[in-house]
Amino acid sequence: MNFTELLLRLMKLIAADKGINYYKTKTPSDILALRTFMEKIYALPHQENNSSNLKLSQVDETIYKVNWTEYFFLTAPPIVHLYIAEDPKVTVPSEEYIKKLNEVLNETSPRTLTNYVIVHYILHWLPLLDKKYIELLERYGDQGKGTGKEKEDLPHSSGGLIWRSEERLSLSP
């Protein structure tokens, strides 16, 4: 099963759970738009050694269509909110990469960008959902999680925030 098939099956399960007729939704065309967007993002040339450090608020000003501060406040666990509020320095790719990323973001519909965020959020929580969702994810995983960049489709960015915030906060049970 490839990543597109995983998304289609996942959306069918969610629609059934919500009592929605999957076949009356825009899901297939939305997934096609999502995959097209992802392919463009993954095709951007990226040089690992050409990154720089910016404050999170500066990243918000650099990548025009995404407010990363708001995104992290919405998706990261509350334990890291104080860290995010301190406007930490983060590593960002080269200016050239960000310029090309902005071009892709500008030509992508807000609906597709929203779907991208929602899908990553759902995939992140999938292992904690009902058994049928876990089995779907395991079937996908058993087949090597796709090829190439599809292996990176599950989000990991908030993990670094948690680690950094735990260095600075004293956690109580």
Q: Specify the higher pLDDT residue, 172 or 84.
A: 84
Across residues 4-22, what is the average pLDDT? 91
Q: SS in 3 state form for 30-72? A: HHHHHHHHHHHHHHCCCCCCCCEEEEHHHHHHHCCCCCHHHHH
pLDDT beyond 50 at 80: yes
Across residues 92-105, what is the average pLDDT? 89
- Count the Cβ atoms, other than its own, within 10 Å of residue 173: 2
Two structure tokens written together for 26: 């825009």
Q: Which CATH fold would you assign to the domain 3-168?
A: Neutral endopeptidase; domain 2 (1.10.1380)
Tens-digit pLDDT profile for residues 104-139: 999 999 999 989 988 888 888 888 888 998 888 888
| Whether 34 contacts 112, CB under 8 Å | yes
Nearest Cα to Cα of residue 29 among 11, 13, 41, 15: 11
Residue spans of the domains in the chain: they are: 3-168
Lowest mean pLDDT of 48-52, 55-59, 83-87, name the range.
48-52
Q: Distance between CA 16 and CA 130 in Å, rounded?
A: 13
pLDDT beyond 80 at 46: no
Q: Distance between CA 167 and CA 71 in Å, rounded?
A: 22
* pLDDT score, position 29: 93
pTM equals 0.70
What is the rounded end-to-end Cα distance, in angstroms, of the chain?
41
pLDDT band at 143 (very low <50, low <70, confident <90, very high): low
| Whether 37 contacts 10, CB under 8 Å | no
Sequence-distant (6+) residues with CB within 8 A of 58 are: none
Tens-digit pLDDT profile for residues 16-37: 999 999 888 899 999 999 999 9
Nearest Cα to Cα of residue 33 among 145, 116, 124: 116
